[in-house]
């Protein structure tokens, strides 16, 4: 399996012409540690634009089983979690968390994130997922507070919607102009 930890830029033409292994090398990391999604979209080539590619990849997720969807959600790291503290986040996740200011928290803020992560895992049995690039730390903390009130079904839907946003932004990073 090709490395999925770094973003490889490619034009849409290169993506459309790529054989399976290269396609997975380019797009396998768009959905966190879930190359099966890129693999599922491979047969939909050629894509007219990034939006069509994104839609095809999201459709793979929507047509997958609930267990596959939960596996996808669980592939995401906790915000300010163990992977962040240990420095083992994927390059994309590290950059995304940094863009929200999560790499510059006080000890008290880190403790608050970890408290919310624990409460969230306790209630839903998967990590809290939010598109960090579209939020800052205060909005993320408010997101924890409001989303902890959701039902499990609502939260699965919400987490998947956030994952689609993350993937779209990652696709824009991948697809060179």
In a 3-state reduction of DSSP, which class is residue 10? strand
* Catalytic residue (one of 24, 56, 61, 76): 76
Crossing angle of helices 152-174/107-124, nearest 10°?
Answer: 120
Residues 6+ apart with CB under 8 A from 115: none
Crossing angle of helices 152-174/91-99, nearest 10°?
Answer: 100
> Cα–Cα distance between 170 and 106 in angstroms, integer?
28
Q: Is 76 a catalytic residue?
A: yes
Q: Which pair of tokens denotes residue 1?
A: 């399996």
Catalytic residues: 76
């Amino acid at each position: 399996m090709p490395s999925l930890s770094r973003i490889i830029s490619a034009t849409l033409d290169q993506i459309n012409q790529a054989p399976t292994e290269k396609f997975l090398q380019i797009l396998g990391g768009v959905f966190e540690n879930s190359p099966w999604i890129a693999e599922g979209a491979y047969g939909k080539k050629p894509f007219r634009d990034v939006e069509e590619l994104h839609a095809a990849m999201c459709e793979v997720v929507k047509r997958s089983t609930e267990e596959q969807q939960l596996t996808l959600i669980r592939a995401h790291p906790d915000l300010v979690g163990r992977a962040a503290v240990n420095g083992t986040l994927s390059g994309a996740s590290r950059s995304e968390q940094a863009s929200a200011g999560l790499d510059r928290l006080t000890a008290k803020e880190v403790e608050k994130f970890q408290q919310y992560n624990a409460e969230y895992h306790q209630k839903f049995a998967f990590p809290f997922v939010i598109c960090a690039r579209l939020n800052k730390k205060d909005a993320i903390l408010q997101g924890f507070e409001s989303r902890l009130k959701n039902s499990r079904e609502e939260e699965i839907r919400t987490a998947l919607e956030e994952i689609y946003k993350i993937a779209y932004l990652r696709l824009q990073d991948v697809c060179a102009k």
